[in-house]
Structure 1
Amino acid sequence: MDTTKTSGAMLTAMRQTVPLVQCITNYVAMNIAANVMLAAGASPAMVHAEEEAGEFAAISGALTINIGTLSTSWLAGMRAAAKSANQSRKPWVLDPVAHYATDFRRAAVAELMELRPTIVRGNASEIIALAGGASKGQGVDSRDPVEQAEESAILLAKRHETVVAATGAVDFVTDGERAVRITGGSPLMPEVTALGCSLTCLVGAFAATSPNDPFAATVGALATFASAGETAGRQAEGPGSFSWRFLDALKSLDGRTLDSEARVSAA
């Protein structure tokens, strides 16, 4: 990773740019994802209809696709948006939520992977299964530790020439050659619905700001999330208070503080 591109510098640049990010995400995640994006300094747009998804992807800084509440019509919008993002040379992020659960989801993610996402962000179980391994995942929940997904993440990154982020207690990011781990966050984060989905959208915002270095952009987004989560967790009494404290921590986080707090280490 280019050491001149610190996570704090990218956070500052993202806020100055206020990138428009098309977030095709699930019903559960829309509200919290939009609030996370606004607190971080980006501009979210939840546009998923096939009739406009492709057109909107062309004018957005980045696209994120989350298959959490998948349907045939939503898949058509995802397909149109991903193709348009590729044609417009815009980065796009795939979140393969519980892709191993049903035949429909497996086929949908296989098709989307063929459209060459710039970044893939998922939990450990999703990344292991996507690489062809046997995971312990159940529904949207990860039952595998991130360290067991690292080899799968590297394999996926090389096979699809993409950046892969396996997120959890300690995040792992790789482009097949470089790899880092990011420490931070809070044990309360998995108890708040759709925070992981929101992280996917934030990765899109950083990628829009640094489209030529999706690896650094992914690390920057994850470091931002980890720092804000750790701050919120120190004061939260439970998942309810953590949720609003996280938004406040994200809003108040600045580039200098992020660079002093981020714990990113080479893997």
Structure 2
Amino acid sequence: MNQSIIHEAREATPLIHHLTNQVVMNFSANGLLSFGAAPVMAKAEEEAADMAYNADGVLLNIGTLTADDLSSMVRAGVAANEKGIPVVLDPVGVAATPFRKTAVKNILEQVKPTVIKGNAGELAHLVEIPWETKGVESVGDGNADEIAAKVAKMYQTAAVVTGKTDVICIENEILQNHTGHPILGKITGAGCLLGSVLSACLTTNESIGQQAMTAAAFYGLAAEHAAERTDVNGPGTFLPHFIDALSLNPAALERK
């Protein structure tokens, strides 16, 4: 983890334009605020491009996608590309329905993402690697390094495959993050909020590989820190402590 990336992001307080799913809006907003960046949630087609032009980064998350949302995502993504700010695409549940698959294809034909982030099942689907999924969850098993590499090559972007070990691929380089805690799999929107933190880290001046690795490592360490508290008895008591942990100095979270 490159701690300077966290400090730089917090000093700048980047505005991250979220076109995200309805289930996680509040959690993503609070988590990103705790981290030290500024969230805005604006999905109306009439303002999506304007908001992107005003932002420092854009997050496209298709978790509860509608046809209207898709048009807004494309408008915001195109505007972000024109402005030269980072775009994170989170193809939530892309393998679940033909609508989602077609929507992501539509986005990728018109928007150049800086990073495509998702679980192994989601990203495997983008490169036609067989992988078992259940709704929006990845339940299969296989080579995450291969998936990340193929996504990065096919879409000429950085790829982040989340899981027990997060795998990052950028320009043929594979990085692995081993921080995190199983309890993250028991809360709604854990991956979605990681997309928010990643978007904020991408606004800094370091390499994309270091930015993505730092976001994943910091996020996992915050989860470990929260889960270790003696008053955490499960997902419900974990959540507020996790939000708190996202505000901590990264040095305080480093493994001893």
Answering whether residue 230 of structure 2 is matched by residue 218 of structure 1, we say no
Question: Which residue in the other structure is 2:172 paired with?
Answer: 177
Higher relative contact order (CA 8 A, sep 6+): 1
Q: Deviations over 1:10-35 (max 9, x none)?
A: 00111101000001110001011001
1:198 alignment counterpart: 193
Structure 1: segments with no counterpart, 5+ residues: 1-5, 263-267
Alpha-carbon distance in structure 2 between the residues aligned to 1:86 and 1:101: 28
TM-score by structure 1 length? 0.91
- After superposition, what is the alpha-carbon deviation per residue over 1:150-180, rounded to whole angstroms, capped at 9, x for unaligned? 2011011012110100011111101141111
Match of 2:49? Answer: 54
Match of 2:226 in 1: 232
Paired residues of 2:95 and 2:121 also in contact (CA < 8 A): no
The count of corresponding residues between Structure 1 and Structure 2 is 253
Q: Does 1:152 align with 2:147?
A: yes
Contact 1:7–1:224 (CA<8 Å) still a contact in 2? no
Partner of 1:15: 10
Amino acid at match of 1:129: H
- 1:64–1:93 Cα contact (<8 Å) kept: yes
- The Cα offsets for residues 114-159 of structure 1, whole Å up to 9 and x where unpaired, read as 22211011011111111111110111111134x6222011011012
Spell out the pairing of 1:58-137 with structure 2 (5 A cutoff). Answer: 58-114=53-109, 115-137=111-133
Structure 2 residue aligned with 1:248: 244
SS of match in other structure, 1:64: strand
Deviation at 1:227, TM superposition (A): 0.6
CA distance in structure 2 between the partners assigned to 1:149 and 1:30 by the alignment? 28
Spell out, residue by residue over 1:175-198, the C-alpha distance to the aligned partner (whole angstroms, 9 max, x if none).
141111111211111101111111
RMSD (Å) for aligned C-alpha atoms: 1.4
Q: TM-score, normalised by structure 2?
A: 0.95
Measured in 1, the distance between the counterparts of 2:165 and 2:26 equals 26
How far apart, in 2, do the equivalents of 1:261 and 1:42 lie?
Answer: 24
Partner of 2:38: 43
Instruction: Give the Å deviation of 1:213.
Output: 2.4
- How many angstroms apart in 1 are the aligned matches of 2:169 and 2:18? 23
Unaligned runs of 5+ in 2: none
Cα deviation, 1:88-118, whole Å, max 9, x if unaligned, reads: 1111000000111111111110111222211
Which of residues 177, 184, 187 is equivalent to 1:189?
184
After superposition, give the CA deviation of every residue in 1:215-263 in whole Å (9 maximum; x if it has no partner): 22111111110110111111221000111110111112x13335x439x
